[in-house]
Amino acid sequence: MTSHLRAGPLRARRTAGGKLLAVLAAFSRERPTLTLSEIARTVGVPLSTAHRLVGELTRWGALERDADGRFRIGLRIWELGALAPPALGLREAALPFMGDLYEVTHQNVQLAVRDGDEVVFVERIAGRDAVNVLTQVGGRFALPPTGVGLVLLAHAPAEVQEHVLAGPLTAYTQHTITDARQLRRVLAEVRRSGMAVSDRQVTEDAVSVAAPIEVRGAVVAALSIVVRGSSPAAVRSYAPGVRAAALGIGRILASTSTWS
């Protein structure tokens, strides 16, 4: 599970604003809190510069200082993030359907979008007694081994598909598809059937069923249920529920103006 906030193209030619953004980019899921000197080291600026940048960001509310003197992302960035498409629109449209699916199945329900060649998990409802899943909201993962990733990859632009198919295709378990030709066949089947099944490709005990969320013909997100087991046939029984919920979310999104 990579959280992978890109270092960005600003590293080379660094404006004052670019340095400010580089401070924000120093924080990641693996390193959610940083000391001033860790920030200076990560951004590659003197401590005095880091101090000034961190001061500006803290006054604005982009960073907060905790009781130990470590810095972390602040409430204001979280508020701004609540205005981004995954939150405003997608998440609000999806949550009631996800809640219904959870209530009916008591399995893990996941919502994801694609960013480049990765899955970004936007929301999940974790079943208390369901199989343990590694995903976290805001977390990223490779596209090919996950159900949502297969759906998103199958409907990605050709250049994204070719880039991913060119590999390498990492094996997470002995069931992970690492052969490009086989993956290409699976993606065609996903497009044909309108759903994807990922069979123990991420962990040895989890199978997922995923369906595309479409708005005016474009796949903008994917919905999945992740269940314990090794029987794709049994898992497929969840498909109608997942597909119907995904259709419902797409219908709601199409009727709202914030999603285009």
Site residues, a copy of itself (CB under 8 A): 3, 5-6, 8-10, 15-21, 24-25, 27-29, 32-33, 53, 56-57, 59-62, 64, 66-68, 72-88, 91-92, 95-96, 99, 102-103, 113, 115, 120, 125-126, 128, 136-138, 258, 260
Between 53 and 253, name the residue whose CB sits nearer to a copy of itself.
53
Q: What type of residue is 138?
A: G
CB 69 → a copy of itself: shortest distance, Å? 10
Between 22 and 187, name the residue whose CB sits nearer to a copy of itself.
22
CB 232 → a copy of itself: shortest distance, Å? 28
CB 136 → a copy of itself: shortest distance, Å? 8
The SS3 of residue 208 is strand
Between 8 and 46, name the residue whose CB sits nearer to a copy of itself.
8
Between 68 and 159, name the residue whose CB sits nearer to a copy of itself.
68
CB 154 → a copy of itself: shortest distance, Å? 21
CB 170 → a copy of itself: shortest distance, Å? 22
The full 3-state SS of 68-80, as one line of letters, equals CCCEEECHHHHHH
